[in-house]
Amino acid sequence: MANATSKIAIVTGAGTGVGRAASLALMQAGFTVVLAGRRLAMLQETQKLGEAIGNSLPVTADMADPASIAALFATTVEKFGRLDLLFNNAGMGAPPLPFEDLSLAQWQAVVDTNLTAPFLCTQHAFRIMRDQTPRGGRIINNGSISAHAPRPFSAAYTSTKHAISGLTKASNLDGRAYDIAVGQIDIGNAATPMTDRMVNGPGVLQPDGSSKQEPRMDAKAVGDAVAYMAALPLDANVLFMTVMATKMPFVGRG
């Protein structure tokens, strides 16, 4: 990997799961990581886990609040003077309800966190990366296997992840003028608190109406993939990468 010493990264949703795994991998790779999320205690736990391998700064931020997002980027520039990497990771899902029972409020909450927040974060990152010296940087969006194929009762989540693919392509194109590379990592069945239901009880609903438990992979594999993408020189880019549990029911028909 390229030397990332003194490079500055922001990871949203850094307190748990994939965000924590990516933060630790980036610290290991030499990045100073701004750990962003709503729960300070969880961010501090991530910071403590990474103390022996790298540097980080916990900053509370609510991805549903544009003013809070703006403050996150302002704090980063104030503390470090630049931004080299943004990992748009924070996300949420709606309750698994029949399509016709999903409320407008539930839909909007998912759109606000999963799509509008990455849009706003990317705008802030563009402005910083465009104007800094040396110019440029990298943005990685957390997509999902749902960006390719939905699960039952996941209209809001799946729609936002398909939209993230569009945001990735459009911002990658618009970022060329400023030496900004944008890519996406689509993740399937990483072992995080969000996917615990996959291995407990009856498991998760399948398209044929049955439920079953599904294989998962260590979230560290995802963190390492993010670190690989982050460490590329800016004249190279991973536009889309899929990292998934080998035996999950995605490829094929079950």
Backbone angles phi, psi at 242, to 5 degrees: -110, 125
Query: Residue 227: CB partners within 8 Å, gap ≥ 6?
Result: 1, 22, 25, 26, 28, 29
Helix residue ranges per DSSP H, the chain? 17-28, 40-49, 66-80, 104-111, 117-131, 155-175, 219-231
Amino acid sitting at position 142 = N
Task: Identify the sign of the CA torsion 250, 146, 225, 13.
Answer: negative
8 A C-beta contact, residue 213 and residue 203: yes
Please confirm, yes or no, whether 220 is among the known catalytic residues.
no
Q: Which residue among 7, 79, 161, 178 is the active-site one?
A: 161
- Cα–Cα distance for residue pair 102/24, rounded to 1 Å: 36
Q: Which residue among 7, 48, 79, 157 is the active-site one?
A: 157
8 A C-beta contact, residue 157 and residue 105: no
Please confirm, yes or no, whether 48 is among the known catalytic residues.
no
DSSP class of residue 251 equals S
Catalytic machinery residues: 157, 161
